[in-house]
Amino acid sequence: MLVSGAYASKPGDPVAGEMQAGLCGGCHGFDGNSPDASFPRLAGQYEMYIVKQLRDFQKGHRANNDTMAGMAAMVASLQDAKDIGAFFEKQKMAKKPIATVDKKLAAQGKKLYYNGNPKTGVYGCVNCHGDRGMGKAANISIFPRIGGQHRAYIVKQLKDFKSSSRANDPAGMMADIAKKLSEKEMTAVSHYLSAQLP
Ligand code: HEC
Ligand code: HEC
Protein backbone atom coordinates (compact mmCIF):
# COMPACT_ATOMS: atom_id res chain seq x y z
CA MET A 1 0.00 0.00 0.00
CA LEU A 2 2.91 2.33 0.66
CA VAL A 3 5.14 1.84 -2.33
CA SER A 4 3.96 4.58 -4.60
CA GLY A 5 5.93 5.56 -7.69
CA ALA A 6 7.91 8.27 -5.93
CA TYR A 7 9.30 5.81 -3.40
CA ALA A 8 10.03 2.99 -5.79
CA SER A 9 13.66 3.76 -6.68
CA LYS A 10 16.81 2.01 -5.43
CA PRO A 11 16.85 0.96 -1.76
CA GLY A 12 18.94 3.10 0.58
CA ASP A 13 22.66 2.42 0.90
CA PRO A 14 23.79 2.74 4.54
CA VAL A 15 27.46 3.13 3.56
CA ALA A 16 26.73 6.11 1.31
CA GLY A 17 24.35 7.36 4.00
CA GLU A 18 26.94 7.38 6.74
CA MET A 19 28.92 10.21 5.15
CA GLN A 20 25.84 12.34 4.62
CA ALA A 21 24.57 11.61 8.10
CA GLY A 22 27.57 13.55 9.44
CA LEU A 23 25.42 16.61 8.82
CA CYS A 24 22.81 15.29 11.21
CA GLY A 25 25.03 13.96 13.98
CA GLY A 26 25.60 17.27 15.76
CA CYS A 27 21.99 17.18 16.86
CA HIS A 28 20.77 13.60 16.47
CA GLY A 29 24.02 11.91 17.57
CA PHE A 30 26.41 10.39 15.04
CA ASP A 31 24.93 6.96 15.74
CA GLY A 32 21.38 8.33 15.99
CA ASN A 33 21.38 8.31 19.80
CA SER A 34 21.00 12.01 20.47
CA PRO A 35 22.01 12.99 23.99
CA ASP A 36 19.46 15.80 24.14
CA ALA A 37 15.70 15.28 24.37
CA SER A 38 14.86 18.06 21.94
CA PHE A 39 16.43 15.97 19.18
CA PRO A 40 14.67 12.67 18.51
CA ARG A 41 16.60 9.45 18.48
CA LEU A 42 16.86 8.12 14.94
CA ALA A 43 18.76 4.92 15.78
CA GLY A 44 16.76 1.90 14.63
CA GLN A 45 14.00 4.02 13.08
CA TYR A 46 12.58 2.75 9.77
CA GLU A 47 14.38 4.04 6.69
CA MET A 48 11.14 4.91 4.92
CA TYR A 49 9.68 6.71 7.96
CA ILE A 50 12.82 8.89 8.03
CA VAL A 51 12.45 9.51 4.29
CA LYS A 52 8.80 10.49 4.75
CA GLN A 53 9.64 12.96 7.52
CA LEU A 54 12.44 14.55 5.48
CA ARG A 55 10.10 15.01 2.52
CA ASP A 56 7.34 16.33 4.76
CA PHE A 57 9.72 18.92 6.25
CA GLN A 58 10.92 19.84 2.74
CA LYS A 59 7.42 20.34 1.41
CA GLY A 60 6.10 22.11 4.50
CA HIS A 61 3.67 19.30 5.34
CA ARG A 62 5.45 18.95 8.69
CA ALA A 63 5.83 22.47 9.95
CA ASN A 64 6.50 22.04 13.66
CA ASN A 65 10.22 22.87 13.60
CA ASP A 66 12.01 25.48 11.48
CA THR A 67 15.50 24.27 12.36
CA MET A 68 14.75 20.81 11.06
CA ALA A 69 13.02 22.22 7.98
CA GLY A 70 16.28 24.01 7.19
CA MET A 71 18.25 20.81 7.64
CA ALA A 72 15.87 18.79 5.48
CA ALA A 73 16.29 21.34 2.71
CA MET A 74 19.97 20.36 2.55
CA VAL A 75 19.15 16.75 1.65
CA ALA A 76 19.34 17.04 -2.11
CA SER A 77 17.61 13.97 -3.48
CA LEU A 78 15.26 11.13 -2.62
CA GLN A 79 18.18 8.74 -2.97
CA ASP A 80 20.21 10.77 -0.42
CA ALA A 81 17.27 10.67 1.99
CA LYS A 82 17.02 6.89 1.58
CA ASP A 83 20.76 6.42 2.10
CA ILE A 84 20.67 8.48 5.30
CA GLY A 85 17.53 6.64 6.43
CA ALA A 86 19.19 3.27 5.78
CA PHE A 87 22.22 4.31 7.83
CA PHE A 88 20.14 5.35 10.85
CA GLU A 89 17.87 2.30 10.64
CA LYS A 90 20.98 0.12 11.00
CA GLN A 91 22.15 1.86 14.19
CA LYS A 92 21.35 0.30 17.55
CA MET A 93 19.43 2.31 20.08
CA ALA A 94 21.49 3.03 23.20
CA LYS A 95 20.31 1.05 26.19
CA LYS A 96 19.53 3.92 28.48
CA PRO A 97 16.97 6.70 28.49
CA ILE A 98 18.47 10.09 29.28
CA ALA A 99 15.69 11.12 31.67
CA THR A 100 14.66 9.15 34.73
CA VAL A 101 11.53 7.08 34.50
CA ASP A 102 8.84 7.26 37.19
CA LYS A 103 7.65 3.68 37.67
CA LYS A 104 4.12 4.61 38.73
CA LEU A 105 3.58 6.87 35.74
CA ALA A 106 5.14 4.27 33.45
CA ALA A 107 2.66 1.66 34.71
CA GLN A 108 -0.27 4.00 33.97
CA GLY A 109 1.24 4.73 30.57
CA LYS A 110 1.57 1.05 29.82
CA LYS A 111 -2.13 0.55 30.46
CA LEU A 112 -3.00 3.35 28.08
CA TYR A 113 -0.52 2.02 25.52
CA TYR A 114 -2.09 -1.43 25.41
CA ASN A 115 -5.75 -0.77 26.22
CA GLY A 116 -6.34 2.81 25.18
CA ASN A 117 -8.97 4.71 27.15
CA PRO A 118 -12.46 3.33 26.48
CA LYS A 119 -14.02 6.28 28.35
CA THR A 120 -12.64 8.86 25.94
CA GLY A 121 -12.51 6.67 22.85
CA VAL A 122 -8.71 6.43 22.66
CA TYR A 123 -7.59 3.41 20.70
CA GLY A 124 -4.62 1.46 22.16
CA CYS A 125 -1.31 2.67 20.74
CA VAL A 126 -0.14 -0.94 20.38
CA ASN A 127 -2.51 -1.44 17.47
CA CYS A 128 -0.42 0.83 15.29
CA HIS A 129 2.98 1.14 16.99
CA GLY A 130 3.46 -2.54 17.84
CA ASP A 131 4.52 -4.30 21.01
CA ARG A 132 6.58 -1.98 23.30
CA GLY A 133 6.56 0.71 20.61
CA MET A 134 8.89 -1.30 18.42
CA GLY A 135 6.82 -0.76 15.29
CA LYS A 136 5.33 -3.44 13.11
CA ALA A 137 7.59 -4.11 10.16
CA ALA A 138 9.82 -2.17 7.79
CA ASN A 139 7.25 -2.54 5.01
CA ILE A 140 4.61 -0.84 7.16
CA SER A 141 6.84 2.04 8.09
CA ILE A 142 3.97 4.54 8.18
CA PHE A 143 3.82 3.50 11.84
CA PRO A 144 7.09 4.68 13.39
CA ARG A 145 9.01 3.04 16.17
CA ILE A 146 8.43 5.09 19.30
CA GLY A 147 9.85 2.80 22.02
CA GLY A 148 12.99 4.22 23.63
CA GLN A 149 12.32 7.69 22.26
CA HIS A 150 13.04 10.71 24.51
CA ARG A 151 10.20 11.53 26.87
CA ALA A 152 10.13 15.25 26.17
CA TYR A 153 10.15 14.67 22.42
CA ILE A 154 7.18 12.27 22.67
CA VAL A 155 5.16 14.75 24.73
CA LYS A 156 6.00 17.56 22.30
CA GLN A 157 4.78 15.53 19.33
CA LEU A 158 1.53 14.57 21.06
CA LYS A 159 0.89 18.23 21.92
CA ASP A 160 1.78 19.29 18.38
CA PHE A 161 -0.66 16.75 16.91
CA LYS A 162 -3.32 17.92 19.36
CA SER A 163 -2.88 21.58 18.44
CA SER A 164 -2.43 20.74 14.73
CA SER A 165 0.98 22.40 14.59
CA ARG A 166 2.10 18.97 13.36
CA ALA A 167 -0.41 17.77 10.79
CA ASN A 168 1.50 15.38 8.54
CA ASP A 169 -0.06 12.19 9.89
CA PRO A 170 -1.80 10.10 7.23
CA ALA A 171 -5.60 10.40 7.48
CA GLY A 172 -5.26 12.46 10.68
CA MET A 173 -4.68 9.23 12.61
CA MET A 174 -2.55 10.81 15.33
CA ALA A 175 -4.54 14.04 15.59
CA ASP A 176 -7.62 11.96 16.24
CA ILE A 177 -5.92 10.28 19.17
CA ALA A 178 -3.93 13.22 20.54
CA LYS A 179 -7.02 15.43 20.73
CA LYS A 180 -8.54 12.93 23.17
CA LEU A 181 -5.48 12.63 25.42
CA SER A 182 -5.12 14.56 28.64
CA GLU A 183 -1.78 16.10 29.54
CA LYS A 184 -1.47 13.51 32.31
CA GLU A 185 -1.96 10.66 29.86
CA MET A 186 0.67 12.14 27.54
CA THR A 187 3.17 12.32 30.40
CA ALA A 188 2.37 8.79 31.58
CA VAL A 189 2.72 7.20 28.16
CA SER A 190 5.98 9.08 27.57
CA HIS A 191 7.42 7.59 30.77
CA TYR A 192 6.40 4.12 29.63
CA LEU A 193 7.72 4.52 26.09
CA SER A 194 11.07 6.10 26.95
CA ALA A 195 11.88 3.02 29.04
CA GLN A 196 11.18 0.52 26.21
CA LEU A 197 14.75 -0.06 25.14
CA PRO A 198 16.12 -2.95 23.10
C1 HEC B 1 20.49 21.77 14.29
C2 HEC B 1 19.90 20.54 14.81
C3 HEC B 1 19.47 19.49 13.79
C4 HEC B 1 20.22 18.95 12.78
C5 HEC B 1 21.65 19.26 12.38
C6 HEC B 1 19.37 17.94 12.16
N7 HEC B 1 18.16 17.87 12.82
FE8 HEC B 1 16.67 16.50 12.46
N9 HEC B 1 15.54 17.34 13.93
C10 HEC B 1 15.93 18.40 14.71
C11 HEC B 1 14.86 18.70 15.65
C12 HEC B 1 14.85 19.80 16.70
C13 HEC B 1 13.82 17.77 15.38
C14 HEC B 1 12.49 17.64 16.14
C15 HEC B 1 11.47 18.55 15.57
C16 HEC B 1 10.21 18.54 16.41
O17 HEC B 1 10.25 19.04 17.51
O18 HEC B 1 9.23 17.98 15.98
C19 HEC B 1 14.29 16.94 14.29
C20 HEC B 1 13.55 15.90 13.75
C21 HEC B 1 14.00 15.04 12.76
C22 HEC B 1 13.26 13.93 12.22
C23 HEC B 1 11.89 13.46 12.64
C24 HEC B 1 12.07 12.27 13.55
C25 HEC B 1 10.81 11.63 13.97
O26 HEC B 1 10.92 10.73 14.83
O27 HEC B 1 9.74 11.97 13.47
C28 HEC B 1 14.05 13.34 11.28
C29 HEC B 1 13.73 12.12 10.43
C30 HEC B 1 15.28 14.10 11.23
N31 HEC B 1 15.21 15.13 12.14
C32 HEC B 1 16.33 13.81 10.38
C33 HEC B 1 17.48 14.57 10.26
C34 HEC B 1 18.50 14.31 9.28
C35 HEC B 1 18.48 13.17 8.29
C36 HEC B 1 19.46 15.26 9.45
C37 HEC B 1 20.71 15.47 8.65
C38 HEC B 1 20.54 15.66 7.22
C39 HEC B 1 19.02 16.12 10.56
N40 HEC B 1 17.81 15.67 11.01
C41 HEC B 1 19.74 17.18 11.07
C42 HEC B 1 17.14 19.06 14.68
C43 HEC B 1 18.18 18.81 13.80
C1 HEC C 1 -4.46 4.33 14.13
C2 HEC C 1 -3.01 4.21 14.24
C3 HEC C 1 -2.30 4.89 15.39
C4 HEC C 1 -2.58 4.77 16.75
C5 HEC C 1 -3.68 3.98 17.40
C6 HEC C 1 -1.57 5.55 17.41
N7 HEC C 1 -0.71 6.12 16.51
FE8 HEC C 1 0.90 7.27 16.92
N9 HEC C 1 1.31 7.51 14.95
C10 HEC C 1 0.58 6.92 13.93
C11 HEC C 1 1.15 7.33 12.65
C12 HEC C 1 0.66 6.92 11.28
C13 HEC C 1 2.26 8.17 12.95
C14 HEC C 1 3.23 8.82 11.96
C15 HEC C 1 2.76 10.16 11.48
C16 HEC C 1 3.64 10.71 10.37
O17 HEC C 1 3.70 10.11 9.30
O18 HEC C 1 4.28 11.72 10.57
C19 HEC C 1 2.32 8.26 14.40
C20 HEC C 1 3.25 9.02 15.09
C21 HEC C 1 3.35 9.07 16.46
C22 HEC C 1 4.35 9.81 17.19
C23 HEC C 1 5.46 10.65 16.60
C24 HEC C 1 6.68 9.78 16.41
C25 HEC C 1 7.90 10.51 15.96
O26 HEC C 1 8.93 9.85 15.86
O27 HEC C 1 7.86 11.73 15.72
C28 HEC C 1 4.13 9.58 18.53
C29 HEC C 1 4.95 10.14 19.69
C30 HEC C 1 2.98 8.72 18.62
N31 HEC C 1 2.53 8.42 17.36
C32 HEC C 1 2.46 8.28 19.83
C33 HEC C 1 1.28 7.52 19.93
C34 HEC C 1 0.66 7.19 21.21
C35 HEC C 1 1.22 7.55 22.57
C36 HEC C 1 -0.47 6.49 20.91
C37 HEC C 1 -1.52 5.95 21.85
C38 HEC C 1 -2.07 6.85 22.84
C39 HEC C 1 -0.53 6.38 19.46
N40 HEC C 1 0.54 7.03 18.91
C41 HEC C 1 -1.52 5.72 18.78
C42 HEC C 1 -0.52 6.10 14.07
C43 HEC C 1 -1.12 5.74 15.25
pLDDT per position as a tens digit, 28-55 = 999 999 999 999 999 999 999 999 999 9
Question: Which ligand has its closest atom nearest to the C-alpha of 155?
Answer: 2
CA 121 – CA 124 distance, rounded (Å) = 9
- Distance (angstroms) between ligand 2 centre and the Cα of 79 equals 25
Residue from 13, 7, 22, 5 nearest 52 by CA: 7
- Distance (angstroms) between ligand 1 centre and the Cα of 17 equals 15
CB hemisphere CA count around 93 (13 angstroms): 23
C-alpha 188, offset from chain centre: 18
Using the predicted structure, report yes or no on whether residue 10 has a pLDDT greater than 90.
no
Mean pLDDT of 82-90: 98
| CB count in 10 Å sphere of residue 131 | 12
